[in-house]
């Protein structure tokens, strides 16, 4: 196996944003291109993001896509994704397995330093990975990976309890971002003030308002970065973000709203990167709580949901494609022929009647969401459809950061949700393993336990044989549609819009020279962007 690259079948979106209601994926993208002429250093830009973060500590903070976009300016991962969706090395120089994928040799690049001047060496990486493994937040994601062993200053040995052919992809996400141990190891360290090896360093941060970063003069990838500074502005409302982009108030933003996709792409003064093979919108159910722990109730909710009517109301731009699994049709993992249950209100009432006759209780639940207009519209439509069946539905609205905390703790019934953005299914496995339903921090948010899914997930990660893996993940998709922890709505479309004065947006290279993926998880790389005069 080429030590500098893991084949496309092991690909993953550039982040594993571990906890988010606004994930976006990699997949196909369209770029407006780059300007001719050499890059010009200098200048500052403003990027509008949709949510604030509880911090940037890779092992303890709850990263959303907005967090990752900000983190990309200051922190960097061991691995990343190239334009062909191969997992390739970034801070690492190579990651090479043994024959059965139970042992990996991780080689680091020489002469890479954090902005503090401390080296990015084997001790620093081990410190970070040890923290990831010990954390109740990230540990379940990496379950099966043993404590790393230092071989020499730039080499570590990684061992797993099972064959894990896709291990490199996890180091392209949050568990693979490396912070300075001097920052992370200080018991009084501020998770809001990261120290990494990235192209920018923190200048100031005002929670719920803005974060300002400035050029890292000692960045290890000369001549990057080109910009002098970036201001990240928190703008939760997508309408306000896009309006600010159109007026020139901000220079770059992202949106998953279909109307924004059309608006940005049709604006001749804006450049754009669009991702049409992204994550899935759904209603997520907490299968551990009554009445949703009863499959009859979950099936009633599924067949009582009129997705066609929902799409007719919400699809003003003609972009909605109803989902049937965690993978869109563009994905090699899409299970052709698999169907989500059709709308059947008579069947829904029959199932609800059985449940009520047996328990003596009317089905009652709370359907939550964030405050975004599109999510609230979906909430209202689905809630009304369920009420028409005689279900008692209460609706609630919660800010994203609080909602994520509630989800981790299991404090919800049903949610308008968006997740599953990895081009490789093993990048989603931690959300589905039965063992990850346990403990105070459960990354299997839906709390769905299915041993058939567990077996299929292990089979899918144990090999690099494509057909074996496709069969395993088809089983996963079939079982999810039988268990019904997720009531699929649609495949999400993302757009990144930016001012035409910004050059080389989405046009970047890995340290070894391979082109990077233009946009992934609705984020773009920042070190290569420059301003045309």
| 3-state secondary structure labels for all residues of 176-206 | HEECCHHHHCCCCCCCCCCCCCCCEEEEEEE
The predicted model gives 306-334 an average pLDDT of 90
Residues 258 and 286 in one domain: no
CATH number for position 227: 3.40.190.10
Distances (CA, A) of 29 to 275, 330, 332: 5, 12, 16
Predicted confidence at residue 9, as pLDDT, reads: 29
411 lies in some domain: yes
Peptide bond into 225 cis (omega under 30): yes
With 70 as the cut, is the pLDDT of residue 4 above it? no
Share of the chain above pLDDT 90, in %: 78
2 lies in some domain: no
CATH number for position 315: 3.10.105.10
Residues 117 and 187 in one domain: yes
User: What SS3 state is found at 124?
Assistant: helix
Residues 442 and 516 in one domain: no
Predicted confidence at residue 450, as pLDDT, reads: 98
Answer for the pair 234, 52: CB distance below 8 angstroms, yes or no: yes
Per-residue pLDDT band at 12 (split at 50, 70, 90)? very low
Residues 268 and 396 in one domain: no
What are the helix (H) ranges across 393-526? 400-409, 451-461, 466-483
Predicted confidence at residue 526, as pLDDT, reads: 98
Average pLDDT, the chain: 91
Answer for the pair 457, 432: CB distance below 8 angstroms, yes or no: yes
Per-residue pLDDT band at 110 (split at 50, 70, 90)? very high
Listed residue (393, 391, 400) closest to 369, CA to CA = 400
Predicted confidence at residue 315, as pLDDT, reads: 82
For 114-159, write each residue's pLDDT tens digit: 999 999 999 999 999 999 999 999 999 999 999 999 999 999 999 9
Residues 266 and 321 in one domain: no
Residues 464 and 389 in one domain: yes
b or e along 190-206 (b: 16 or more beta carbons within 10 Å of the residue's beta carbon)? ebbebbbbbbbbbeebe
Per-residue pLDDT band at 276 (split at 50, 70, 90)? low
Answer for the pair 145, 95: CB distance below 8 angstroms, yes or no: no
**Structural domain tally of the chain?**
2
Residues 254 and 302 in one domain: no
Residues 333 and 231 in one domain: no
| Cα–Cα distance for residue pair 124/107, rounded to 1 Å | 13
With 50 as the cut, is the pLDDT of residue 17 above it? no
452 lies in some domain: yes
pTM > 0.75: yes or no: yes
Residues 498 and 459 in one domain: no
The predicted model gives 371-400 an average pLDDT of 94
Range of the domain at 84: 8-276+494-531
Residues 432 and 506 in one domain: no
Residues 324 and 462 in one domain: yes
1 lies in some domain: no
Predicted confidence at residue 11, as pLDDT, reads: 26
262 lies in some domain: yes
Q: Which conformational region is residue 398 in: left (phi greater than 0), alpha (psi within -120 to 50 degrees), or beta?
A: beta
Per-residue pLDDT band at 336 (split at 50, 70, 90)? very high
Residues 245 and 292 in one domain: no
| 3-state secondary structure labels for all residues of 463-496 | CCCHHHHHHHHHHHHHHHHHHCCEEEEEECCEEE
479 lies in some domain: yes
Per-residue pLDDT band at 354 (split at 50, 70, 90)? very high
């Amino acid at each position: 196996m080429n030590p500098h690259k893991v084949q496309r079948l092991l690909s993953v979106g550039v982040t594993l944003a571990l906890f988010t209601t606004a994930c976006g994926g990699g997949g196909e993208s369209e770029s407006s291109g780059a300007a001719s002429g050499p890059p010009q250093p200098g200048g500052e830009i403003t990027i509008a993001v949709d949510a604030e973060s509880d911090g940037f500590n890779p092992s303890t903070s709850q990263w959303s896509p907005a967090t990752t976009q900000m983190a990309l300016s200051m922190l960097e991962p061991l691995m990343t994704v190239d334009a062909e969706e191969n997992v390739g090395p970034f801070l690492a120089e190579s990651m090479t397995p043994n024959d059965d994928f139970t042992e990996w040799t991780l080689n680091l690049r020489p002469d890479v330093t954090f902005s503090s001047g401390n080296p990015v060496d084997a001790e620093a990486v081990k410190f970070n990975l040890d923290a990831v493994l010990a954390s109740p937040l990230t540990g379940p994601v990496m379950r099966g990976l043993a404590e790393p062993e230092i071989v020499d200053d730039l080499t570590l040995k990684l061992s797993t309890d099972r064959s894990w052919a896709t291990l490199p992809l996890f180091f392209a996400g949050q568990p693979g971002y490396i912070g300075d141990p001097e920052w992370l190891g200080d018991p009084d360290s501020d998770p809001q003030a990261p120290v990494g090896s990235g192209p920018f360093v923190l200048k100031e941060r005002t929670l719920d308002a803005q974060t300002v970063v400035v050029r890292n003069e000692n960045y290890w990838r000369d001549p990057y970065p080109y910009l002098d500074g970036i201001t990240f502005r928190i703008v939760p409302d997508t309408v306000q973000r896009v309006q600010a982009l159109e007026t020139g108030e901000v220079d770059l933003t992202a949106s998953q709203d279909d109307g924004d996709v059309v608006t940005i792409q049709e604006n001749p003064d804006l450049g754009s990167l669009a991702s049409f093979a992204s994550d899935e919108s759904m209603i997520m159910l907490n299968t551990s709580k009554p009445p949703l722990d009863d499959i009859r109730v979950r099936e009633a909710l599924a067949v009582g949901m009129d997705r066609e009517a929902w799409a007719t109301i919400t699809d003003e731009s003609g972009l909605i494609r109803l989902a049937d699994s965690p993978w869109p049709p563009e994905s090699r993992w899409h299970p052709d022929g698999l169907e989500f249950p059709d709308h059947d209100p008579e069947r829904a009432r029959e199932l609800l009647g059985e449940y009520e006759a047996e328990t003596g209780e009317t089905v009652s639940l709370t359907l939550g969401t964030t405050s975004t207009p599109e999510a609230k519209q979906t909430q209202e439509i689905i809630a009304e459809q369920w009420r028409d069946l005689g279900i008692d539905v209460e609706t609630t609205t919660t800010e994203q950061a609080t909602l994520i905390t509630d989800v981790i703790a299991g404090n919800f019934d049903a949610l308008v949700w968006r997740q599953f953005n990895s081009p490789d299914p093993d990048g989603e496995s931690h959300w589905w393993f039965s063992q990850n339903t346990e403990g105070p921090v459960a990354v299997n948010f839906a709390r769905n336990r299915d041993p058939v899914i567990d077996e299929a997930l292990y089979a899918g990660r144990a090999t690099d044989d494509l057909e074996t893996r496709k069969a395993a993940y088809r089983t996963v998709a079939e079982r999810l549609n039988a268990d019904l922890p997720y009531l699929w709505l649609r495949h999400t479309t993302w757009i990144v819009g930016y001012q035409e004065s910004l050059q080389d947006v989405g046009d970047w290279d890995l340290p070894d020279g391979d082109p990077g993926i233009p946009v992934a998880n609705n984020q773009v790389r920042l070190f290569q962007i420059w301003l045309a005069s």
